[in-house]
Each structure stands twice: as C-alpha cells, then as structure tokens.
Structure 1
Amino acid sequence: MKNNIKTIAFDADDTLWINEPYFQEAEKKFTSLLQDFTPQEVVSQELFKTEMKNLYLYGYGVKGFVLCMIETANRIINQNLSPHLIDNIIKIGQELLQKPIELLPGVEQTLKNLNGKYRLIVATKGDLLDQERKLNNSGLENYFHHIEIMSDKKPGNYTKLLKHLDCNPENFLMVGNSFKSDILPVLELGGFGAYIPYHMTWQHEKHDHFLHHQNFVELKSIDNILNYLE
C-alpha cells in the first residue's frame, strides 16, 4: 500500500531542525529567575499548567510561551511582578526567537533524494512568523511544494490540509517526531505515518505508544525513510 504514497509531509521542529532543546534552555533561565521565590521544579510545573490552560487561546509557539511565563511569574510572586522581571522574561523569548537553525543529521540529503519523486510539503505547528523565519534560514525552502503552518494537528486540521492539496489520505505520508500530533491523526484518516523519535519531547506531546498498524513505521533517523519507501 505504501507504493500509493505521492505526497510526503514533514513536521519541522525536531524533525527537520533542533527546537525543543532551545525551549528547555529557555525554561531553565525562566525558573532561575524565580528560584528565590519557589523551587525551580515547582516553577516548571506551574508554567506547564499555565501553558495548558492557555493553549486554546495562544496556540503553539514562542509568543504564547512568553505570555505564559509572565502569567506564571506573576502568580508565583503574588501579583507583584516587577518591570525588571518582565523585561528579563521578554529577553528570554527574544533570544529564543533568534536561535540559529541547526538541521538534524541526514535531513538535506534525504530531501534531495526524495525531490522530484514525491510532492514534498512542510506541515508544522507554531507562530507563523517564527516558522517562516526558520524555514527561510534553513536553506530547505526550495525542496517543498507547499508550506502549512497549522494551528493544531488534529484529524480535522489534516482533513483541511488534504483537501487543499487535493490529496487522498491513502496517498499521504506524514513524517514527524510527535506520535500524538504527527502520527495518530493521520492514521485515523487512512494515511501513512513515519515516526522518528527525538531525544527531547515537550510534556504535552508525550504519548505512550505501542502500535501495530499497516500504515505505520518507526524509524531511527530521517534518512531511513528512503529504505521504507523502496
């Protein structure tokens, strides 16, 4: 059945390039700002609660992350957040938005090998401007037929994407590092999913998986997709 695949979609963050380590580094800087008020592990827990509460409002990305840090800090220090602390939190976010793009091993060569044989697209979540910047700085943009910055990755979001691409699910392969966001919704629609685990995963994206499905494959690295498709 995989011989029917015509369109391959790639998640971006932690599939094409490094992302989560930068967020974890930013979170550590944030927790250190508040360590005189409460233990750093508690700050992390409170930040995650805030992120989950606001996810439907802010969506995914750095801007929402910054707003959640400010809200969390204000709650931890009893609504007495100083302008100096706000400024430091904003700087953490600005640094995060200016991180260099570091491609994961094998990404560009894999895209070169697939280019011309399949229609390649990017399907990723996050801030529109931030993801466009990262893609532009990655040097990979010319490999892709279409770029889709998605507000979420649920079956309905993928249905809209497939309709826009005029692509049937049985002709669609999604490649990504999130089992929850990149794999399960696409399999539910009848498409294919190639899961490439990354050593760091945001808590919200973690999913205990054990799956036997004819349209699913777990790969050690992105270049293994070539052997799978042969």
Structure 2
Amino acid sequence: MRLGDATLLVLGGVGGGLTGSMAGLASLVSYPALLAVGLPPVAANVTNTVALLSNTVGTAAGARPELRGHGRRLARLSAVAAIGGLAGAILLLATPSSAFERIVPVLVALGAALLLLRDELRRWAGHRTMPAPVLGGTIFLVGVYGGYFGAAAGVLMLAVLSVAATEPFPVTNAVKSIALGAANLAAAVLYAILAPVNWAAAALMAIGCLLGSWLGPTLVRRLPERPLRAAIAVAALALAAYLWWRADH
C-alpha cells in the first residue's frame, strides 16, 4: 500500500473516531476514505464496519465517568443491538444494496428530527418512559441498520436513547457508542468469515479511529449540549440529502 493511501486511511480513522464518538457520524468520514483509496463499495462497507470496532474501545476508555454505573443497562442494550447487527450483516450478504437506497435517507433524516425535537417530545411525554418492548424493538432495528450499512446509525441510536432517557447528553452519547459497537461487533464477526474485508486498510483505519474516539468524549464533555445536538442534527440532514441524491444518480 502506498504511503499516501495509508496516511489517508489513518486520518480518515481519526476523523471517523471523532465524529463517531461525538455525533454518531463516523461513516461520514471513514467510508469515503476507504472508497478514495480504491476499495469497491461492498469491500469498503464491510472493511469500515471492522475498522470502527476500535471506536467502541476508544470511547469506552475516554468516557469512563459517563459509563460508570450503567453496566446492566449497557448489557441489555448491547445484547439487543448485537442481535440486530448480526441480522443486518446477514441481510447485506443476502440482498442487493439497492434494496435500502430509498429508506436510508429517510431514516437518517428521522434521526436528525428526533434530536432537534427531543425536548419537545420529552415535554409531550411528561413523566412517561418508553415501554421496554418498544425501546428494545427500536434498538434492534437500529442494530439491523448498523450491521447492514451503518452510515449515521449512531445518529439513530443517539436519537432513540435521547428520547427514551432523561440524562446528561454526554452519558447518552457514551451509551450510544457502546450499544452501536455491539452491533458492529456482531456484524464484523460474520464479515470476517464471509465478506471481502481488506485487513490492511481496516488495521490502518482502526489506529486512527482509536485515537479519535478516545478524544471525542472529552470534547463532548466540554461543549454545550444544545448547540452540539443541533450541529449533529444538521450534519445528519446534510448526509440524508446526499444519500438521497446518490440514490437518484
């Protein structure tokens, strides 16, 4: 591999780690970097999923204060998300990628809207909490999407958890990263066996992801919540528009 391509992959990993741990938009940076070094779309998709596993490790290390005391919750959410991630990986290997070209932008835009309207939705719900079966089913579906394609899956996970729980944003953001990491892990195991993972590219990108995701929680901890949440939503809407445009071309 050329030095320029290797550098691009590491830098793409740093960017993916930062955007993933802060906003759930890792693939917005990492996936194009893999395409830029010449990987075909399917290989780039599965390689991206494997590389982003280091995001979970970095976020867990950088967000220990936010994750403390949430062990049982993380175990429940991660188990459901992992089952969804495995189902999504099977779906990717069994169906053409065009099957979700139209629904993906809608899901990303929905996640952005949920983030923007989180406070209004909480006020509307009052003291009611999201029923466990509804939360579990929604997390499963986000896991399916994460295992299948994954672009902005973190935004969807963050949106669901933000509406479901009343807690500081950095806590929700950290929990999102761990649950989504479980979905990625389940999908990555299957991809490692059956899919065309480029292991050299995955390793280089994982190094960058580890660094970026370790720094991300520190930045989230220091930035004001409302502007950060709005910025994530705007970026997600931009991604939804791009994905919709790409589906037409």
Shared fold (TM-score, shorter chain, > 0.5): no
Whose Rg is larger? 1
Larger helix proportion of the pair: 2
The structure with more strand, counted as a fraction of residues: 1
Calculate the TM-score normalised by the size of structure 1. 0.28
- TM-score when normalising by structure 2: 0.27
Higher relative contact order at CA 8 Å, sep ≥6: structure 1 or structure 2? 2
